Amino acid sequence: MNRHDDIWIMAAQCPSRLGTVDVVTRFLKERRCYITEQQSFDDRLSGRFFIRTEFRPEEDGFDAGAFHAAFAERAAEFDMTFELTPPDRRLPVVIMVSKADHCLNDLLYRYRTGQLAIDIRAIVSNHPDLASLAEWHGIPYHHFPITAETKPEQEAQVWRVIEESGAELVILARYMQVLSSEMSARLAGRAINIHHSLLPGFKGARPYHQAYEKGVKLVGATAHYINDDLDEGPIITQGVEPVSHADYPEDLVAKGRDIECLTLARAVALHVERRVFLNKNRTVVFQR
């Protein structure tokens, strides 16, 4: 995550009130913690305040448990909820994928080289095609075929893997199945999906070929948290790439794959670094 070994993260939110920044900064000063980065946002429409702070303890023997308990007392006055993330924690994740391997390959590379602070506990797929890729990385691969009739049983198998692996984040890296309402509710706020974004919008088969026929000048991708509305969950990040009349359908597909990989990786990094806050149906995102 490109952070120093001794940098902690505090991410908090509460109703908008006078003194919300002060309660965080004053406490850190009293605890001899040096603030290395801080971002905050007050949403006047929702009446919510969001703050993310990176800090470094100035004294040896930092006691995270005592710190958490003491700040919880201060935070209660503001009805503030918060998370404390230790240095270089690797978030346990499960990746779901179908046949397309570009996003999975990109995530595995960033995982292998330490660019993403994640611990991939398992890969789940409705096809067997990518089992060898998981095996090469030493990651358990679960092949759970699915049909309309077996969907409840298949999702029960998927949920069992998520629970038993201890995953705190599920990444849908081009998983080409619509999750049920029940599964979407279970994964609310902790499952990220990636899909193409084209203007005008094209649904159904071969969207890039449809885009070519319409002469689009931009291809893009959107990474978002899942909800019960297909591809309409709270957006984390988006990316675009210009195209021209000289780009053929296969060029649009290639550019689309590249931007999907980059957009998904950015979204995962932002989530892992506690830079994303859910704000009703929207998100507050503190950029890196």
CB contact at 8 A, 180 and 226:
no
Determine whether 208 is exposed, middle or buried from the number of CB atoms within 10 Å of its CB (0-12, 13-18, 19+): buried
Active site residues: 231
Tell me the per-residue pLDDT of 235-269, one tens digit each, with 9 for 90 and over. Answer: 999 999 999 999 999 999 999 999 999 999 999 99
Structural domain spans, the chain = 8-85, 91-285
Inform me whether the pLDDT recorded for 2 exceeds 70: no
Inform me whether the pLDDT recorded for 200 exceeds 80: no
CATH architecture classification, 91-285: 3-Layer(aba) Sandwich (3.40)
Rounded to whole angstroms, how far apart are CA atoms 79 and 1?
30
Which band of pLDDT confidence, cut at 50, 70 and 90, is reported for residue 199? low
Contacts of 19 (CB under 8 A, 6+ apart): 78
CATH fold of 8-85:
Alpha-Beta Plaits (3.30.70)
Tell me the per-residue pLDDT of 41-82, one tens digit each, with 9 for 90 and over. Answer: 999 999 999 999 999 999 998 999 999 999 999 999 999 999
What pTM was computed for the model? 0.94
Rounded to whole angstroms, how far apart are CA atoms 236 and 193?
10
Determine whether 124 is exposed, middle or buried from the number of CB atoms within 10 Å of its CB (0-12, 13-18, 19+): buried
Rounded to whole angstroms, how far apart are CA atoms 138 and 136?
6
Rounded to whole angstroms, how far apart are CA atoms 222 and 193?
8
